Amino acid sequence: MSQDNEKRLAAETAALKYVGNGAFKGGIIGVGTGSTVNFFIDELTQYRDKIKAAVSSSEASSERLRKLGIDVLDLNAAGRLDLYVDGADECDPHKRLIKGGGAALTREKIVAAASDKFVCIIDATKQVDVLGKFPLPIEVIPMARSLVAREIVAMGGQPVWRDGVTTDNGNWIIDVHGWRIADPVGLETKLNQITGVVCVGLFASRPADVVIVGNREI
């Protein structure tokens, strides 16, 4: 099966089980960002009667949701969410993730933190034993880019500025190459201490609750 078809299948499986058939009744749904989530958003059209509104992790997803007639709320107006569905760039056997390939990591982490259940939808290429082959995205305050990069070099990483990309929050992204992340919670905690770091694309302290790969739930 092609990678795109597997993404679409994961999106269909999540929509059917967690929105169509699930306990999700008339609630507000958290929606992430990326090509896999785009398939999920398209699936939501058939369950519109069950969705009061959505909270989205990016301007791109908000626009797609609104085009389908789904209201998009500010998280502050929504309160706690029952369900958040998002993709990932890498996923280990403990459902810990690398995210942020689409530069939406900060809002994604906020919406995940505000949600009772985080369902992650991926294709099989995203599954790894140890996180780190995919460069780890870190959102930084622009004036702190070099400061943060030097700290990362001191920690043994190879930082590369994602030149030309500004996040929805007006910040920049550094992608860190060369790390084999044996202790994702420890690294996430350590990176969060660096002044100028807004958000780390490691979702280890709050991993996914459910991962769907194609039509398999793990």
* Binding region for ligand 5RP (CB under 6 A): 32-36, 86-89, 99-105, 108
Length of the chain: 218
What minimum distance in Å lies between the beta carbon of 34 and ligand 5RP? Answer: 3
Q: Residue 60 in contact with residue 83, Cβ under 8 Å?
A: no
Task: Establish whether 32 is an annotated binding residue.
Answer: no
Which residue of the set 6, 12, 90, 108 is catalytic? Answer: 108
Cβ(187)–Cβ(140) below 8 Å: no
| Beta-bridge partners for 138 | 174, 200
* Closest CB to ligand 5RP among residues 36, 196: 36
Residue 170 among known ligand-binding residues: no
Smallest gap from residue 135 Cβ to ligand 5RP (A): 11
Copy the structure tokens of residue 14.
């999540």
Q: Least Å distance between CB 12 and ligand 5RP?
A: 14
Please tell me whether 2 is known to bind a ligand.
no
| Closest by CA position to 12, among listed 34, 55, 45 | 45
* Residue 108 known to be catalytic: yes
Q: Min. distance of Cβ 214 from ligand 5RP in angstroms?
A: 13
Please say which residue, 34 or 132, places its beta carbon nearer to ligand 5RP: 34
34 among annotated binding-site residues: yes
Among all chains, which residue has been given the structure tokens 């140890």?
A: 130
Residue in 36, 75, 34, 31 with CA at minimum distance from that of residue 51:
31
Task: Read off the DSSP letter of residue 141.
Answer: -
Extract the annotated binding site. Answer: 33-36, 86-89, 99-102, 126
Active site residues: 108
Q: Which residue numbers belong to the known binding site for substrate?
A: 33-36, 86-89, 99-102, 126
